[in-house]
C-alpha cells in the first residue's frame, strides 16, 4: 500500500480501537506525521500518564513503551516492532545493578529512563535528559549518588551541578560516534551556525556546544533562537520536526551515521499491522510495574 492509503487505514483503525499514536522525535518523517503526540522521553511519559485513549501505539523504542505501560497499567500498549530496543538500556543487567547497589548502602541510585523496567525497579529515582540536572539537584547534598547507565549524561550532570557521582559505564552507540573533530570541522564550514547537542554525546563535544538539551529542548531552542543556522549533534530523525517547524532556518548534521537503527525499525505499514492484530504488545507485569513506578513518579513530581 502507498503512504496515503496506509495513513487512511491507520485513521480508520485508530477510531475503531480508540487508539492514540505516540512518536518519539527520532522516528522517520511519515511515522511522526501520523502521530497524535510527538515528543522526548519526558514529554511522552507525561502524556502516557494522562491520555484517555484505551490503546497507545508507541512508536519509539522498547523502554519507552514499558514506561507507558508502567504509568498506564490499564491501557493496552502496542508497538510497531518488538525488536526496536535500546542498546544503552541493554548495557545494565538488573543482577549487576543489584550487586553494585547492595555494595554501596545509603547511596542514591539515579537511573536514566533509557533502562529496563527491572532496572528502574531497583532505583531510587529516574531522570531523562530533560530533567537529569534538576533530579540530581533535588538529592540532599550529603547523599552520594550512583548514576546508571549513561556515562556521558552522568558526566554532563556532574559538570552542571558540581556533584560527584559514581557512573555506570554505559553509552549510546549512536551518540558515542559523534566526534568533537567532526563538530569542529562543521563549525569551521558553517561559522555562523550554533552547535546544539544531546547530552548522550561525548564530553569533549558537549564542552564546545552552544546548547545541550533533550530532543524537545533542542527543538524548542531552535524555534525561539534568533539565530538562523544550526549544527545538530543528535540522531538525524530530529531534522524532520526542526525543518518542518522552521522553514526559514538551516540545519546541518555532521555525522553520516547519526542514525539509531532501532528507532528506524518502525514504519507506517507496521503501525497498521499492529492496530489490525492488536500486537505486538508491551506489558509490564503488575508486581514489577508497581516497583518501577515509584522512581518514575518521583521524577515526574520534580516538574
Residues in the site for ligand SF4, rule: CB under 6 A?
61, 86-88, 114, 172-175, 200, 235, 260, 262-263
CB of 117 to ligand 13P, least distance (A): 16
Give which of 103, 207, 191 is closest to 155, Cα–Cα. 207
Query: Strand, helix or coil at 266?
Result: coil
Half-sphere exposure of 281 (CA within 13 A, CB side): 14
Tell me the backbone φ, ψ of residue 26, rounded to 5 degrees.
-95, 0
- Binding partner of 262, given ligand SF4, ligand 13P, none, CB within 5-8 angstroms per partner class: ligand SF4
Q: Which is nearer to ligand 13P, 13 or 205 (CB)?
A: 205
Give which of 58, 107, 65 is closest to 89, Cα–Cα. 65
- Binding partner of 25, given ligand 13P, ligand SF4, none, CB within 5-8 angstroms per partner class: ligand 13P
x/- site string to ligand 13P, residues 135 to 174, per CB under 6 A?
A: -------------------------------------x--
- Binding partner of 40, given ligand SF4, ligand 13P, none, CB within 5-8 angstroms per partner class: ligand 13P
Q: Which residues are CB-contacts of 48 (< 8 A; sequence separation ≥ 6)?
A: 22, 56, 58, 67, 68, 71, 72
For ligand 13P, how many residues bind (rule: CB under 6 A)?
Answer: 11
215 counts as binding ligand 13P under rule CB under 6 A: yes
Torsion of CA 66, 3, 254, 246, to 10 degrees: -90
Q: Which is nearer to ligand 13P, 130 or 274 (CB)?
A: 130
Please check whether residue 76 is in contact with residue 278, taking contact to mean a CB–CB distance below 8 angstroms: yes
* 145: number of Cβ within 10 Å: 23
Please check whether residue 82 is in contact with residue 280, taking contact to mean a CB–CB distance below 8 angstroms: yes
Torsion of CA 284, 263, 57, 128, to 10 degrees: 60
In whole angstroms, what is the distance from residue 141 CA to residue 15 CA?
A: 50
CB of 281 to ligand SF4, least distance (A): 20
User: Which residues within the stretch 31-70 sit at the binding site for ligand 13P (CB under 6 A)?
Assistant: 40-41
- Binding partner of 87, given ligand 13P, ligand SF4, none, CB within 5-8 angstroms per partner class: ligand SF4
x/- site string to ligand 13P, residues 85 to 114, per CB under 6 A?
A: -----------------------------x
- Could you list the residues that contact ligand 13P (CB under 6 A)? 25, 40-41, 114, 128-129, 172, 198, 200, 214-215
Amino acid at each position: 500500500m502507498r503512504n496515503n492509503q496506509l495513513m487512511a487505514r491507520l485513521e480508520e483503525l485508530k477510531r475503531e480501537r480508540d487508539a492514540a499514536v505516540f512518536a518519539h522525535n527520532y522516528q522517520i518523517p511519515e511515522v511522526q506525521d501520523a502521530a497524535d503526540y510527538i515528543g522526548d522521553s519526558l514529554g511522552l511519559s507525561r502524556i502516557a500518564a494522562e491520555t484517555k485513549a484505551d490503546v497507545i501505539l508507541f512508536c519509539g523504542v522498547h523502554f519507552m513503551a514499558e514506561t507507558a505501560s508502567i504509568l498506564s497499567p490499564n491501557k493496552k500498549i502496542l508497538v510497531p516492532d518488538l525488536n526496536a530496543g535500546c542498546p544503552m538500556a541493554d548495557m545494565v543487567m538488573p543482577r549487576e545493578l543489584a550487586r553494585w547497589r547492595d555494595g554501596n548502602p545509603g547511596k542514591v541510585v539515579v537511573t536514566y529512563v533509557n533502562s529496563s523496567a527491572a532496572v528502574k525497579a531497583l532505583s531510587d529515582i529516574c531522570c531523562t535528559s530533560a530533567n537529569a540536572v534538576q533530579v540530581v539537584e533535588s538529592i540532599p547534598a550529603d547523599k552520594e549518588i550512583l548514576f546508571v547507565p549513561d556515562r556521558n549524561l552522568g558526566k554532563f550532570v556532574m559538570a552542571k551541578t558540581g556533584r560527584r557521582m559514581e557512573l555506570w559505564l554505559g553509552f549510546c552507540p549512536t551518540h558515542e560516534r559523534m566526534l568533537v573533530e567532526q563538530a569542529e570541522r562543521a563549525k569551521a564550514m558553517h561559522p555562523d551556525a550554533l552547535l546544539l547537542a544531546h547530552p548522550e554525546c561525548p564530553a569533549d563535544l558537549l564542552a564546545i556546544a552552544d546548547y545541550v538539551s533533550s530532543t524537545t529542548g533542542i527543538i524548542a531552542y531552535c524555534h525561539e533562537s534568533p539565530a538562523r543556522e544550526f549544527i545538530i549533534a543528535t540522531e538525524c530523525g530530529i531534522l524532520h520536526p526542526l525543518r518542518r517547524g522552521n522553514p526559514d532556518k538551516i540545519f546541518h548534521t555532521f555525522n553520516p551515521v547519526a542514525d539509531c537503527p532501532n528507532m528506524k525499525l518502525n514504519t507506517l505499514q507496521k503501525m497498521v499491522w499492529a492496530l489490525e492484530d492488536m500486537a505486538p504488545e508491551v506489558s509490564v507485569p503488575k508486581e514489577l510495574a508497581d516497583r518501577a513506578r515509584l522512581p518514575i513518579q518521583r521524577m515526574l513530581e520534580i516538574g
